[in-house]
Chains A and B, each alone.
Chain A
Amino acid sequence: MSHSVDDIRSQLIALLPRLRRFARAIAKNVHDADDLVQIGVERALTRLDQWNTESRLESWMFGIIRNAWIDEVRARSRRDKLFGPEELGENVGVDVVAAETELMSVQVAMARLPEEQRTAVALVLIEGLSYKEAAAVMEIPIGTVTSRLARGREALQKMLGGAGATVQ
């Protein structure tokens, strides 16, 4: 597998739909999500040397996007202290994603999870990463992924009113 810059660029283009989906799942808001993807792509391109090619490109990208989001959450919390909580815009966009009530409630339920649980759920249940891969992305032990995932799932199932119990 070649890793020239051009090659990575074309892999990134192919990855954009998934990066957008991941960002959408963690950022709760369509606009923030795409901005996160853009930041992620730009950060990645300036530090390609830091990509450990043993790991999959998407895992590396998920990690960068997640870190960008954490930076933003922290910045926002500092800003909220300075400027008072933002009321406008909070969680806006969740209802844009899907018109169906059931699907919308999934977005809302996700948005209500604590950050760390939401990221674990997004990586494993939406992006299909293994626990081990998710642990590498989040830079935490596998056991921690498992427990965050378990708590996240439990909370989601509660919020979705047991809708998850319907077997497909």
Chain B
Amino acid sequence: MNITDEVLMAYADGELDAATRSEVERAIAANSELAKQVDRHRALRTQLSNAFGAVLDETIPEHLKAAVSGQQSSSITNLAQVRAAKATAQQARRWSPANWMSIAASVTLGVLLGHFVPSERHSDSIVANAALERALSEQLASNSADSAVQIGVSYLDKSGDYCRSFATTGNDATAGLACRTNSTWQIRMLMPVEKSSGAAYRTAASTIPAAILDRVNHDINGEPLDAEQEAAVVKRGWNAQPR
């Protein structure tokens, strides 16, 4: 028979029937090159077992044990929800750019990382969905307390676009920064927001992660809009100030 590498692999893995096995053994005995190939297959298995074996000795995280004993909400079906649940559980920490970076480094999926979307790549940029669009266009910071979207600070950025920070409520609470460009709201930044468990949201401004506030401070042209200016610009549909 033709001893392919796949056959040698199956031999090394103990997957051959007795007849094929003895045939392979005869071939190996006659050809040291085949024996080396088998050794390589076995060595790779050992190498992989060694590399991943350490996981077995790690302490099992409590939340996994709790999941098995059914002590956690059982409606979780994807990574984003796991993260949201975890974020709720770890409510004590305040956001700062430093811990945001470390979280960004450890959280790959599920949450929306703060991507800076260049405005010239319009087709790729993130555009607000209908609900967010409406809130960004119509809502005032002062009347967003009971709304699904909370508006924080509104301002003109250095390129002359109006921008607003916002936070959404609910399980996937997310904060972000949107700017009005080409008559649409484009999301410049998005990140998960920590929420004090059970408690109502604090004021909109304080739910906004420090990293977003830093961006605001960097991009802002002058001072944030005050309530009167905000109301005026909402009223004229976010068009530039009449000259």
Q: Which residues of A contact B (CB under 8 A)?
A: 9, 12-13, 16-18, 20-21, 24-25, 29-32, 34-39, 41-43, 45-46, 68, 71-72, 75-76, 79, 82-84, 86, 88-90, 92-93, 97-98, 102-103, 106-107, 110, 121, 124-126, 130-131, 146-147, 149-150, 153-154, 156-157, 160, 163-168
Contact = CB atoms under 8 A, between A and B. Distances in A.
B105 to A, nearest CB: 5
B92 interface: no
B105 A82 contact: no
Contact of B78 (A12, A39, A164, A165): A39
Place the interface of chain B in its size category.
35 or more
B15 A165 contact: no
Interface of B: 5-6, 9-10, 13, 15, 36, 39-58, 60-61, 63-65, 67-70, 72, 74, 76-79, 82-83, 104-110, 112-113, 115, 117, 124, 126
Contacts of A16: 60, 64-65, 68
B117 A39 contact: no
Contacts, number: 173
A88 B45 CA distance: 31
B76 A38 contact: yes
Interface core residue of B50, B77, B79, B113 (most chain A CB under 10 Å): B79
B48 A106 contact: yes
B121 to A, nearest CB: 8
Contacts of A71: 78
B60 A17 contact: yes
Contacts of A166: 43
